[in-house]
């Protein structure tokens, strides 16, 4: 807050309100584009057919990226175009694109950049990933709406209140796990949730819960998977005397820590690092790796196949 004098001697104040400021940034950054994600058998003419379809409907291509898996004979593509002047009613896109899709045996999905996915964050006591996600969301880096936070602890309520996100405390024990998961599912349905982010949520989701949200749950694991699965990976890394530690963000499946990997990063350590040093360094990695994965998901940059992910630029 600062005070100024007008030429007439009248005093006025300039008030900086971070929420309003970031909301203006987000509003200004909104664009109107469509994103098409495609996977199909690799064959000649694919790119030409897709580009020609968009050209015939006055689509201005902004980004295009592709990948071929030669061993599986698979073609994957992400293409984004400006909807300004696009002559085809986007609601009728599928009906018109069907001829091209059928010809090349395509599995495809269409997304719109101005449709922000609704996200829920699950968290326990550790707050570093939650803080990072909330800040990046407020600053406009994550093109989504964080609709609520669900936790089995009360520690992070004040943080949620600071950012204006509803906070639901659901204490969890072995005896009430099924009941709590049912309450969680009810909340997700009420808020129309598109993506679940496990920001160091220190509970294992049931297979029944996970099956209800395929490729819609992202977890951060404090290890460079597939090394050190499960609990306390930093302790086991310290005992093993490793020289690198890492963090892994992945989609959640019914098999613990085995879902398709979205992002990983590492940091070097030495014999001088105590267990506490590993934990502190690892937490820096965790929040960065998780935020990247969430951003790529909400921007529709990920295609999955054969328990792998392709991340398009």
135 sits in which H/E element = helix 128-138
Identify the DSSP state of 91: G
Please tell me what DSSP assigns to residue 253. -
How far is Cα 40 from Cα 29, in angstroms, rounded to an integer? Answer: 33
CB count, 10 Å around CB of 153? 15
Strand order in the sheet with 244-251: 167-169, 145-151, 118-123, 195-198, 217-221, 244-251, 261-268
- C-alpha span between 271 and 184 (Å, rounded): 43
N- to C-terminal Cα distance for the chain?
40
Decide: residue 118, CB within 10 A, 0-12 exposed, 13-18 middle, 19+ buried: middle
Options 52, 65, 145, 257, the catalytic residue: 257
Judge contact between 58 and 86, C-beta under 8 A: yes
State the residue for tokens 């398709």. 260
Q: Is 89 among the residues known to form the active site?
A: no
| Distance of alpha carbon 218 from alpha carbon 252, whole angstroms | 6
Q: Please compute Rg for the chain using Cα positions.
A: 23
What are the catalytic residues? Answer: 257
């Amino acid at each position: 807050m600062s005070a100024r004098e007008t030429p007439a001697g009248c005093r006025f104040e300039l008030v900086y309100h971070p929420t309003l400021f970031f909301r203006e940034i987000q509003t200004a950054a909104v664009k109107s584009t469509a994103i098409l994600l495609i996977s199909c058998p690799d064959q000649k003419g694919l790119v030409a057919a897709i580009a020609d379809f968009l050209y015939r409907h006055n689509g201005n291509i902004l980004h295009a990226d592709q990948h071929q898996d030669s061993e599986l004979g698979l073609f994957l593509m992400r293409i984004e175009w400006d909807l300004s002047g696009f002559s085809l009613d986007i609601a009728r896109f599928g009906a018109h694109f069907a001829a091209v899709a059928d010809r090349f045996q395509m599995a495809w999905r269409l997304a719109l950049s101005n449709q922000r996915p609704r996200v829920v964050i699950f968290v326990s006591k550790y707050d570093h990933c939650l803080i990072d996600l909330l800040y990046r969301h407020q600053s406009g880096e994550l093109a989504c709406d964080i609709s609520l936070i669900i936790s089995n602890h009360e520690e992070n309520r004040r943080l949620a209140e600071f950012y204006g996100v509803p906070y639901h405390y659901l204490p969890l024990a072995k005896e009430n796990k099924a009941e709590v998961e049912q309450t969680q599912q009810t909340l997700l349905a009420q808020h129309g949730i598109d993506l679940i982010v496990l920001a160091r949520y220190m509970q294992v989701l049931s297979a029944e819960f996970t099956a209800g949200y395929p490729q819609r749950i992202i977890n951060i694991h404090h290890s460079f998977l597939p090394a050190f699965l499960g609990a306390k990976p930093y302790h086991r890394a310290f005992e093993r005397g490793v020289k690198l530690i890492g963090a892994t963000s992945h989609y959640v499946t019914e098999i613990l820590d085995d879902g398709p990997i979205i992002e990983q990063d590492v940091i070097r350590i030495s014999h001088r690092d105590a267990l506490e040093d590993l934990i502190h360094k690892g937490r820096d990695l965790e929040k960065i790796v998780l935020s990247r994965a969430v951003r790529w998901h909400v921007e529709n940059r990920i295609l999955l196949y054969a328990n792998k992910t392709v991340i398009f630029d």
